[in-house]
Structure formats: structure tokens, C-alpha cells
Structure 1
Amino acid sequence: MTQPTHDEALEMTDTPDESGTSARTPKRGRTPRGLAAWRNAVFAIFFLSGLSMASWVARLPAVRDFTELSTQGVGLVILGMSVGSIIGLVVAPIFLARLGARAGMIAMLLLVSVGLVLIGIGGSLVPSVATIVVGLAFFGFGNGAVDVMMNVEGAEAEREIGKTLMPLMHAFFSFGTVAGAVLAAGAAGLGLPVLAHLGIIAGLIAIAVVIAVRFVPRRAELGDPKEHGAPKPPWRERLRASLSVWADARLLLIGAIMLSMSFAEGSANDWITLAAVDGHGFDATTGALVFSVFTVSMTVSRVLGGPLLDRFGRVPVLRVLSVTAVVGISMFIFGTEPWVIVVGTALWAVGCSLGFPVGMSAAADDPVNSAARVSAVAIIGYFAFLAGPPLIGFLGEHFGLLNALLVILALTAVAGILAPAARERSRS
């Protein structure tokens, strides 16, 4: 009997379980140790992306004060990141087809590191909005592209291991945001300049990504070269297959769920600190602590999310979380007591915590073009994640930040209505 090739080892077989439904089991060829190393490498990539994001967001008030930007000015600066990120999302399938996931993730996180350094230069060394915008464009482009790539890798690893892992993978993004927020608070407390702080973070990211991708397996369908010099499909053929999935109506509904929840999460990441300070009158330190409550609550929810999804199913969980988000955002907007605002922040985070990872898993249910399907919904979700904050800034300038958050409240309610689109194939 011949041994399976490297790429065959990464394929999945469907075997009936005792109830007659199809259960995912990995084919022979990849050892448990190899699967664990692959999973952990994806965890690391998610962590680094979250670390970079929180490091920038937590120093936003300092950058704003140094450059004397208005609220609308902050929104326009963030727009530079959003434009770069959207471009990164759109071209990510091309990078996957041309470079493969391994080289692509290295290149994009190195670009993120360059962006962080430029933000530090313009935000603390020489006041330069133009330099900050260029840095945010690099930062956004790199994070936008790597977000697609790491979710494609994460969904495939989840499929092969056969357990719900996407919430935990996104928890590692949240671990990164928690670490970034804590380190940023420490840097601010010590009076460390923004450039020094972001420069150190940039160096850590650059070194860590080169180490982590060594444990990501090569997959010819994503453009990685096969072992032993075997040929791979032409990149245009891979790109064509990636684009064809946009005609799937159910996939677009899954993307709409992710769009709603990503809007809620992304807007919180960029605006919740300023909303607490400018909208509720908290001082800068308390505002940073509110952001920490959000990131910690998001992390805990994602750590616990996998077992809950396996136990109750995607649709009931998404509906409960939609209601939770609506309640939490309402408490944050309309609350007057500090404890109400803090509890609302925690519920806001819990409510929008699983929408994105559940969408990733739902998109990967269909083994045909699973990488292309995951890439498509990731683009939809991250588009909202990135386009939402500038919209909140625009609305906040004209109607106040707290009133602008009403848009998020409505979108999280829509996610609950669309929840059946994410139902597991075996439960359909």
C-alpha cells in the first residue's frame, strides 16, 4: 500500500458517525504532533495580529493629543488604515495564489511592523499627520491581508482536527489585544514615547512571525510549493476558483452575519475608549480600563465558545449572543452609573464575540473550495470591521459618539435574525 502524499495528508474524509451524519476525520499522514504544531502556529499569527491592533488603539489618545486632532480628524486618520485594510482584503486572494499562505503571512506582518514604526514617528517624534496616515495605510494593508490568510489556515486546521477551534483561534487574537492593551497602559504609565513602545512591538512581531510560519504546512491549492518539487495548479486557476464562490447566496448571508458582528467589534476597538472619555466623562486611565474590560470579556467568551457551539449548535448561540449585544450596547449608551457602563461593555463584548469565528466555520462546512469560501466571508466581515470605525467617527462628529453607537445596536439585532444561515450542514 502506498503512503499518501503531503497534500493528500491535508485532505479530509467524511465518515458516518453513529447517528448517520457525516463527521470530519483527518486522513492519514499528519501526526497529532504535526496537527498541534499547525494549530499553535495559527494561534500565534492571530495573537500577533491582535497585539499589533491593540498597541495602536491604546495609544490613540496620546497620538491625538500630540497631533492636536479633532474627533473628525481622528476618524479621517483611521480612514487611512481602513482604506489600506480594504485593499489588503481585496488582494489577499491574489497574494495567496501567488505567494502561498506561509510567505504571504510573513510579508504582511512585516508590513504591519513597518506601519507601527511610522505611526510612532508621526505620533510622538515629529508631529506629522501625513506620516501617521502612511503608517496606518501600511498597517491596515498588512493586517487586512493577513486576516484573510490566517482565517483560511485556521478553518482548514479546524476541518482536519475535527473540533470547533475557530472561536479559540479568535480568542488568541483577543489574547493579543489584552497583551497589547496591558503593555500600552504600562508604557503610558512609565512615560515611554509612542515611537519607542510601537518600535518594540514591531520588532517582536517581525521575529515571531518568521518562527511561527515554519510550522504551517505547505498546501499547493493555496500557492505553496509542493514538497519534492511537484507542480502546482496555475495561480490564475486558483484565483478563478476563489472568485467563483461569490455567487453562493447562503455564503453571502453568512457574510452578512459576520459584517454585523464585525462592525460592532471593530467600532468598539477604535472608539470605546474615546466614547467612555468624551461621552461619559471618564478620565484617560479609566477609559483605558473600559477598553481592557471589553478585550478581556471578548477573550473569555471566545475561550468558552467552542464547547458551547458543539453542545447547543450555532443558531441558538448566535441568537442569544445577538440579544446579549443589544442589551450591552444599550447599557453602554444610556447608562449613567459607572457600573452600568462597565457591565454593558462586558455584555457588548460577549454578544459580538463569536459572530466572526462562527462565520468562518460555517463557510468551511462545504469542502469544495473551502479556502475560497472562507476568504470571501473574511473579506465581507473585515470590510465592516474596518469601514465601521470611520463611519462612527463621522456620525460622532455630528451627533455625538454615544448616539453614533445606535447604528451598532441595530446591526447586532440583524445578526440574530440571519442566524439560521450559519446552521451546521449536519443539522440542515
Structure 2
Amino acid sequence: MLNISDNNNPKQVLEQFKTVRTLENKTHYKILNKIIIGISILGIAMLFLPWTQNISGSGAVTTLKPNQRPQSIQSVISGRIEKWYVQEGDFVKKGDTILYISEIKEDYMDPNLVQNTKNQVDAKQNAVESYQAKVISLENQLQAIEAEKKLKLEQAYNKIKQARLKIKSDSIDLVAANTQLKIATTQFNRAIKLNDEGLKPLTDVEEKKLKLQEVEAKIINQENKLLTSKNDFINSKVEVNRIIAEYAEKVSKSQSDKFTALSSQYDAKAQVNKLENQHANYSIRNNMYYIRAAQSGYINRALQSGIGETVKEGTAIATIMPAAYEIAVETYVDPIDLPLIHKGEKVRIWFDGWPTIVFSGWPDISYGTFGGTIVAIENFISPNGKYRVLITPDKNEDKWPKELSIGSGAQTLALLDTVPIWFEIWRVLNGFPPNYYKQATSTTTKEKK
């Protein structure tokens, strides 16, 4: 394409204007152009300066341990305020009395409640001992019954043995009587026969007949003795069963009385334990009328005022600031920055009330900042929509000011990677977070080693 137009040269076009020709001829405008060019070159060079990425946060001064933070002194029981022993600003030691309250519940108003309860415990303990003595007596009674039962059974078994021997003796006597009967019968028959033949007189027959009748009577008498012996044997067996049943009933009654006494004893022991528990509770409650300091510190504020005011259990009476504490800073970071925060990382902090000049990208040239180390990161989001991070003083740097008070404000910068300024500007303009891969890089380096 042919270039035949005179307007293609910008310089020729601008020289047509009078103002441009005037500015071109003045010296100070030439100097201004050089300054602008120099500043532009300087600005471009500054884009390559190192810049420390950081995560900013805001928080307040706190303590490292929960028991070192300001806390309230509470009343464990309900009561009425009778006397204050401290005032705001006083220093108290652990165990010092803060105030005294009196009882308001009718169940505990008896001034001799502890002693009366102790008397009830002693009375029930005596009942336990009485039941124990009764149990021992019943055990002795059972032993005596068992011993008596043993003797009675031995006596009954002896009677059975005697009856058995008597039956045997009577049986032998009956056999002997039967033998005599046979002999007497034979002799009587022989006498009759000899009398018939005229060899024996009639008187001999009558004698033999009388003897035969005596033997028959003896047999009947012996059979009666044998039956009597057998009956005695049966009665002896019955007596054994009667003795067993009688003493079984006695033993059962004694055992029943023993178990009843044991039951009463255990019930009395349970009541003793209950009363001892009440006695201990009443004794402890008496000591709770004096509200004491749980640790040494300063009384910041009295939350209850006056004399005669009623407080419930768990009511805060006053607040106390522990005298000895380890200072720390709690700060809050946005959820997007949480993955970049790790325990042990370094943090720069500046406190409200201390002169500070802060260059967030160049922490080394900042003034009035103090070093810190992250010791805890909360894994649950706080009500303000951020995550809580706890920071302690860095032991390798200057100590934090002694004048810091709990609750004063603090600003923090968590230091990350160092990058060129142009990279940081590009990251911010694109909305990218700081370097996510810091920890991964460290892990990779360890694996290579």
C-alpha cells in the first residue's frame, strides 16, 4: 500500500499547533520530561524489589493459660450478703476471705444442724452394733440347737439299737419256748400212752398236762414281749423323725431371726452412710459461707453490692485478675488464610498505645513491632466469622512491654514467602491467595534429603 499522506508523521502533525511549539522550546519542560522518565524507570525497577507476603490479623492481649485470665468469683450456695472483707483494687492471696454470706434456706437454718446430724449418726451406729450383737447371739443359739439335735439323735439312735437287740433277745426266747412246748407236748403224749398201758399213774399225766399248759402260757407271754419290742423299735424310729422335724423347725426359726437381724443391720448401715453423707455435706456447706479467693490476684470489680442482698448459687460475686500470668496475643484470620497458618511460624505484632511504623512488605525496616510465635490454631470458626490464633513472645527477640494490660488491642502480621513486588501486585489484582505451597515445598525438600 502506498504511503502518500503527509499526516502519517505524528511530529509533523503536533508541530502544526502553536502550544506544542512553545512547550518544545522551553528548558524546564525538557527537565520535567527527564524526571518523569527517571521516575518511570525507578518505578519499573522497584517492581523487582523483594516483598514479604503476609497475613494480617487483629486481636487483643490475653494470657497463655486459661487459669491466668480474668475470672469471676462465684457463690457455690444461695445466701444473703452479710459482710465484705475487700474492696475493688485490693490484692488478695489464695484462700483470703472475700465476703461472708448467711443461710436463706430453711433446711439448713438450724445452728446445731451439724452436731444434731452427728448425734443421729452415732445413734444409728449403736443400732448397727446392737443388730450385730443380736446376729452373733442367734449364731450361738443355732450352734447350741445343732449340738442339742446331735445329742438327741444319738440318744434316739441308741434306743433304736436297744429295741433291735431287745427284738433279737425276745425272738430267741420265743424259739426256746417253742422248743420247750414241743418237749412238753411229747412228754404229755408219752405219759397218756403209758397211762393207757398201765405203766404210769394218772398223777404223772396230770403233771405233764400242767407243765404243757405252763409252757403254752409262757409262749403267749414271750410273743407279747416280742411284739412289744417291735413296737418299741418302731416308736424309736418315729422319735428320730420327730426330733429331726422339731430341730429343723427350731433351726429355721433361728435362721429367720438371724436373717431378719442381718437385714435390719444392713438397713441401719445404709442409714448410717446416708447420715454420714449428710453430716459431711453440712460440714462442707458451713465452710462455704465464707467465699474465698481461688488464687492470688487483684479484685477488679465487685459485681454484687451492699449488705443484705440475696445471691443464688453460681452467681458471680466479683472479678479477679491473677497476679502471675504469661502474656499472649489472640488474633483472628480470615478462613481463606487459615491453610497458610501453621504452629511455630513467626509473627510480627504491634500494640495499641506504642509508637509504630509498619511496612508490611518489609518487616525488617518496621519500627515498634515485636516478634511472636504461633502456638495454637483453633479449628472451629469463631462467632465473628474468623479463626482464632494464639501467639506467644518470641524468645529470640526483644521482650514484650511489661506495661501491656490484658484486653488491649494488637495487630499482627504472619510472615510468608518473599516474592517480587510485581508478583505481589499481580496476585492481589487477580485475587489469588499467598503462596499455598510453602509447607509442601518443605516436605518435598525433606523427602529429597
- Larger-gyration structure (1/2): 2
Give the number of the structure with larger relative contact order, counting CA–CA contacts within 8 Å between residues 6 or more apart. 2
TM-score (norm 2): 0.19
Q: Which has the higher helix share?
A: 1
TM-score (norm 1): 0.19
